[in-house]
Structures are given as structure tokens and as C-alpha cells.
Amino acid sequence: MLVSALEGHRLWAENYDTTPNPLLALERRLLDDLLDTAAGTCVVDVACGTGRWTKWFSERGARAFGFDVCAEMLGRVPSGLRGRCARARAENLPIASHIADLTVCSFAAGYFPALEQAIREMARITAIGGRVVIADLHPATGAAGWTRSFRAAGRVYEIEHFRYSVADFTSSAERAGLHLTSEIHGCFGEPERPIFEMAERPERFAHVTEVPAIWIGDWRKT
């Protein structure tokens, strides 16, 4: 069943953190070192969902704040972070300019109807010399027939999204005053194999390793 991004995440919120997800596992593996931050660093998690990255940064001493448009996802944020996460659209963040040392957007940009405006907002709230890191489903997955889908209450839902290219991300960021310092085209590997086996889909693992699953862009605001 095809659903909007907002409705999809409302339905997904209840088991988003409890269902093993190989994409989230791969993202964590790729970003653990890239997102290393010092204590006291200000981090803004755009489209924070249930607050998994907000929590990760807070546990490492950062001053982390999250924003998301889905109330049901925010309702799953750990109690200790409730005062640091609020409802807001990525295209209109209720936070001062030049405040974040690091702005992160994980697996959400493909749902934004106005990608360039959202990236411009991320750039606006980021301090000069700060970083903007965006991770999303790799554009190559669309050509390979992958969908953005999940299972809830015994039913499979596919989430509507926009098929942005890498050029859409990089050109929008450049116009927002961001300088691309690195990018990652991440593929599934042996660390993710057990998740496919747990889902009783071991035969799919060999196929998905041939397609880049995640694209990550890391920009510096100059």
C-alpha cells in the first residue's frame, strides 16, 4: 500500500526502533567515525524521527537538538531528550542562524518536497566552519527497483518519496554556500548479513551488496 511520507512514519513509529533494519545498521557503521564530536559541540538533528542520532550525540557530550514533522515519531524520543526535540519542518527550522557546529539529516531528505529549501535551512543554522552531513538512500537503488517500505500490523507499506540525484544534493548545497569535502557510496557488507538472515532473506543479501545502498555527503560551511 502506497502512503505519504507523513502517514508512513506515523504508522512506522511504533516499531521503528524495534525492527532490525540493515540500512540503519549500515549507516551507523559508516557514520560512527565521520560524526565523532567533542563534548560541548552543538548538533542539530534535522528530521530526527525517534531521536536515535540525537541520543547518540547527547551520550557523547554534545548539546544535541532534534526536529521532526511527525508527532508520532517524536512521541518515541527517549524521555531524557523530550525537551530537546520539537516538531518542525526541515524547510522552516525554529532555531537561530549560525548556531550548529554540526547539522545532520539522516534518511529523510528524499521525503522533502523542497530539497533545496531544506538544505538552505541546514546551511543557515550551521556556523561558519561547521559541517552539514546528509545521509540518504542511494539514488542507484531506485534504478535497481528498491522501494522505501516497511511492515506494520502484518501489512507492507511503501512510502512516497522524491527520486533526487546526487547532483540534486550537491548543486543545492553549493548554492547554499556549502563546500563538499567528502562523499560516501556505501554498500552492504558482512556486518549486515545477520540482519538479512534474521529476516529469513539470506538469498537477497548477495543481490543487494551489488548496489550502493546509501549516499552520504559531508559539507563544510565557508
Q: What is the pTM of this model?
A: 0.95
Q: What is the mean pLDDT of residues 4-24?
A: 94
C-alpha distances in angstroms, 59 versus 18, 46, 62, 108? 20, 18, 7, 23
Q: What is the mean pLDDT of residues 41-62?
A: 96
Indicate the average pLDDT of the chain. Answer: 94
Q: All domains of the chain, ordered by start, with CATH? A: 2-221 (3.40.50.150)
Edge-first strand order for the sheet with 63-68 is 85-87, 63-68, 42-46, 100-106, 126-137, 214-221, 178-186
- Predicted pLDDT at 110: 97
The tens digit of pLDDT for each residue in 52-110 reads 999 999 999 999 999 999 999 999 999 989 889 999 999 999 999 999 999 999 999 99
Q: Is the pLDDT of residue 217 over 70?
A: yes
Q: Is the pLDDT of residue 125 over 80?
A: yes
Give the model's confidence band at 200: pLDDT under 50 very low, under 70 low, under 90 confident, else very high.
low
The tens digit of pLDDT for each residue in 150-167 reads 988 889 999 999 999 999
Give the model's confidence band at 33: pLDDT under 50 very low, under 70 low, under 90 confident, else very high.
confident
